[in-house]
Structure 1
């Protein structure tokens, strides 16, 4: 299967996000993973320059989009899924545990009564271990909770798209202090991935490269076991949890968390227009908190 699978990555510099097009080179069918909608926090304006690069690739390769896949409700970028669906179609999917995330943030942001936290905003909710097809490629949804309660990874052949669960080895692991996050759960999810064969390719959703290194997004199980600065072989669950909790306590919130969560729990849809025809985002005052600026991981 790997011989007919092609993976194309698209790095969005402003958010450090990597989106992927996974395609069956024979059937010309594809899935898009974690697409990014541009958002300017100063003006409140959205844009499509980042996702239009991905769409140009889809068109140039004459691909038919079967799936638009989200690994979780991101807090660091807005999803471009609705824009993609309007342009190229595809079924929008996420893990079933998004329901709990929706319920949590409906309450936190006091979202409108018409927003129902039952996942209906998505076309499909994956069960743990569920298999699906990308053309002739067999793919599987793998539950990896911890960063949030609803994170999923997607396995296709010898590749796994891990979302925010793991970063590149020299950056470490995702934070676990968002509502529903849990450092011990994150450790177990990571070790579920690290139990895969050593040659398994892991594709991360973000990179925040140290000085002197260009952005990167592909690693392996072997490289993570040997060199991940937070969770290499020999790091116990207790040690990881202590490190992760201490580190998270000093992290500032992601720049776009307030707009991103309100949009992403709606499957990328903007809030409904109010009686003046304008869509508005809410800022809960003295609710989310913050901390001194530190790296995001």
Structure 2
């Protein structure tokens, strides 16, 4: 079985890793968790980072089969739809994105969102198998951070874990998003991801340690089981839930959560233009948090 050729790209403003995963035999590839640049203060969307990924694909003579999302991200705008216009490929995500869509369709009052996942080209089910060229890929449903999270296991040697576990010195993803669950996340990590062979490489979606020597994108199952402060071997579910929920109670909302989700549940497409020809991202007032000022004045 061929081993995947993996290129990683780090988006500093959102601490996000994008991956190009290529089959060396067929030169076919997938792009995982792509990112658009977004200047919040100006409402400006640009594609400098995504273009770097596109340039790599073209330079190496690759053909894009898949544009994969590990979940509907709350910390960056997906570049999947933009890259699809340049390189082709099918946009895929876990089938439970329907649940995320239905929640945020109401949250933002978005009339164009289907709620059935049809914005995406393919919805992956638990245990589904597909290929990138000749590389076999297995999908694991790994909810907890969000209900739609999936992990892509490529050639049974590399797992792209999205927002589940982070580097062994950091911990895990938060679980306080709508329909998130620390119990689910514990089981996704302990009963699925960390039951992979110890030498399996785990590819991170983020590295949140700016004090580290540099962005770190890969670890192993063995290292997580030995060193992860929240889910190392011997950590019970009750211990994890108590610690994780305690951390989440004091976390601020991600900087890009309000703009990003309304793009990402559209598979990376922008909202439709309004009557004046402009496209708008909505900012719901006082929709997050508590102790908000009453707005009836």
Fold similarity call, TM over 0.5: yes
Residue 2 of structure 1, CA deviation: 4.3
Residue 213 of structure 1, CA deviation: 2.7
The alignment partner of 2:226 has SS state of helix
Residue 212 of structure 1, CA deviation: 3.8
Do the aligned residues in 1 keep the contact of 2:10 with 2:17 (CA within 8 Å)?
yes
List aligned pairs for 1:158-169, cutoff 5 A: 158-169=157-168
Q: Are positions 1:280 and 2:280 aligned together?
A: yes
RMSD: 1.1
Residue 210 of structure 1, CA deviation: 5.0
The alignment partner of 1:209 has SS state of coil
Residue 289 of structure 1, CA deviation: 1.6
- Take 1:268 and 1:181, find their aligned partners in 2: how far apart are those partners? 22
Do the aligned residues in 1 keep the contact of 2:165 with 2:173 (CA within 8 Å)?
yes
Residue 284 of structure 1, CA deviation: 1.1
List aligned pairs for 1:146-185, cutoff 5 A: 146-157=144-155, 158-185=157-184
> Which blocks of at least 5 consecutive residues in structure 2 are unaligned?
292-297
- Take 1:43 and 1:233, find their aligned partners in 2: how far apart are those partners? 46
Residue 139 of structure 1, CA deviation: 0.5
TM-score by length of 2: 0.95
- Take 2:64 and 2:210, find their aligned partners in 1: how far apart are those partners? 35
List aligned pairs for 1:194-213, cutoff 5 A: 194-209=194-209, 211-213=211-213
The one-character-per-residue Cα deviations of 1:47-89 (angstroms, maximum 9, x if unpaired) are 1111111111101110000000000000000000111100000
For residue 189 of structure 2, what is the aligned residue in structure 1? 190
Do the aligned residues in 2 keep the contact of 1:252 with 1:290 (CA within 8 Å)?
no
- Take 1:169 and 1:2, find their aligned partners in 2: how far apart are those partners? 28
For residue 88 of structure 1, what is the aligned residue in structure 2? 87
The alignment partner of 2:102 has SS state of helix
The alignment partner of 2:13 has SS state of coil
- Take 2:133 and 2:8, find their aligned partners in 1: how far apart are those partners? 19
For residue 215 of structure 1, what is the aligned residue in structure 2? 215
Q: Number of residue pairs matched? A: 289
- Take 1:251 and 1:103, find their aligned partners in 2: how far apart are those partners? 25
- Take 1:30 and 1:290, find their aligned partners in 2: how far apart are those partners? 44
- Take 1:100 and 1:171, find their aligned partners in 2: how far apart are those partners? 29
Do the aligned residues in 1 keep the contact of 2:81 with 2:267 (CA within 8 Å)?
yes
- Take 1:281 and 1:60, find their aligned partners in 2: how far apart are those partners? 34
CA separation of 1:290 and 1:80: change in aligned 2, threshold 3 A? farther
For residue 262 of structure 1, what is the aligned residue in structure 2? 262
> Which blocks of at least 5 consecutive residues in structure 1 are unaligned?
292-297
The alignment partner of 1:30 has SS state of strand
Residue 290 of structure 1, CA deviation: 7.0
CA separation of 1:94 and 1:290: change in aligned 2, threshold 3 A? farther
CA separation of 1:213 and 1:281: change in aligned 2, threshold 3 A? same
Q: Are positions 1:136 and 2:134 aligned together?
A: yes
- Take 2:13 and 2:107, find their aligned partners in 1: how far apart are those partners? 26
Residue 195 of structure 1, CA deviation: 0.8
The alignment partner of 2:99 has SS state of helix
Do the aligned residues in 2 keep the contact of 1:171 with 1:210 (CA within 8 Å)?
no
- Take 1:290 and 1:231, find their aligned partners in 2: how far apart are those partners? 30
